[in-house]
Amino acid sequence: MAQSARILLVDDEPSILDFLSYNLENEGFQIQTASNGRLAVELAKKFKPDVVVLDLMMPEMDGMETCEALRKLPETQNCLIVFLTARNEDSIQVAGLDAGADDYIAKPIKPKILVSRIHALLRRRGGIVGKGPIVRNNLTIDTEQYKVFVDNNPLDMPRKEFELLLLLASKPGKVFTREAILDSVWGTDVVVGGRTIDVHIRKLREKIGDEKIGTIKGVGYKFEG
């Protein structure tokens, strides 16, 4: 999949678009570019990218707004989104992840690191999607359409909540440590604190029921079943 994956590059600096396009096309990726967030959203509807590499600081429509808009489109709600940013504060990264981003890469960009991250994200997604629905009592997880149902009623669930639920529900009774959750859902290269996991767990419990997710103090979480 990685060699033929479609990548949409979004940055208001033409030199960066040229630089990234050259390096990613040499890896066999299909590339389209956009100079701002509004153009990116329109182009994404037709291009249907597997990955969007998105600058955080842009005029008119910044990276956060663009990310949220892409997550609302049927064509891009499940694509991978990587932020490019010179701002590496933890609070900015957490806000971006909550907005729907999958990873961060700091500027100045090193091509080998960018390519490695994209390959890793595509591998991680390939290990989750396409295995058919998971059914746990009244809970159904559609792994192909990234949808969750309780008693056949659809739930509004952002990508990271979905991936966290899918991880836990894939092996009922297994205790997943915080480290394992961070590695599987956010990746080892992303700076995310334990508080982020707790917030996502709380939101999941509100939607699917407190009794479905158990807490192992000092260790992590498990899906009860």
Burial 85-95 (b: 16+ CB within 10 A, else e): beeeeeeebbe
Domains of the chain listed by start with CATH number: 2-126 (3.40.50.2300), 134-223 (1.10.10.10)
Give the model's pLDDT for residue 214.
95
Q: Structure pTM?
A: 0.61
DSSP strand pairing (30-34 vs 147-150)? unpaired
Question: What are the tens digits of pLDDT across the range 125-156?
Answer: 665 444 568 889 899 998 777 889 999 999 98
Distance CA 110, CA 84 (A): 11
Output the CA angle 7-11-17, nearest 5 degrees.
Answer: 65
Using pLDDT thresholds of 50, 70 and 90, give the confidence band for residue 10: very high
CA dihedral over 94, 100, 103, 109, signed as positive or negative? negative
DSSP, residue by residue, 108-123: SPPHHHHHHHHHHHHH
Q: Name 220's bridge partners.
A: 177, 216
Give the model's pLDDT for residue 2.
39
Whether residue 108 is preceded by a cis peptide bond, meaning omega within 30 degrees of 0, is yes
Distance CA 18, CA 74 (A): 28
Q: Which residues contact 122 (CB under 8 A, 6 or more apart)?
A: 1, 2, 5, 50, 51, 80
Using pLDDT thresholds of 50, 70 and 90, give the confidence band for residue 16: very high
Cβ-contact 49, 10 below 8 angstroms? no
More confident residue, 184 or 31: 31
Q: Which residues contact 32 (CB under 8 A, 6 or more apart)?
A: 6, 7, 8, 9, 43, 47, 49
Percent of the chain whose predicted confidence (pLDDT) is above 90: 43
Give the model's pLDDT for residue 213.
96
Helix pair angle (159-170, 194-208), 10° resolution: 80
More confident residue, 132 or 11: 11
The answer to whether residue 90 scores a pLDDT higher than 60 is no
Give the model's pLDDT for residue 130.
45
Question: What are the tens digits of pLDDT across the range 25-75?
Answer: 988 899 999 999 999 999 999 999 999 999 988 888 888 999 999 988 988
More confident residue, 128 or 203: 203
Distance CA 70, CA 205 (A): 26
DSSP code, position 174: P
Question: What are the tens digits of pLDDT across the range 100-126?
Answer: 788 888 888 888 888 888 887 887 666
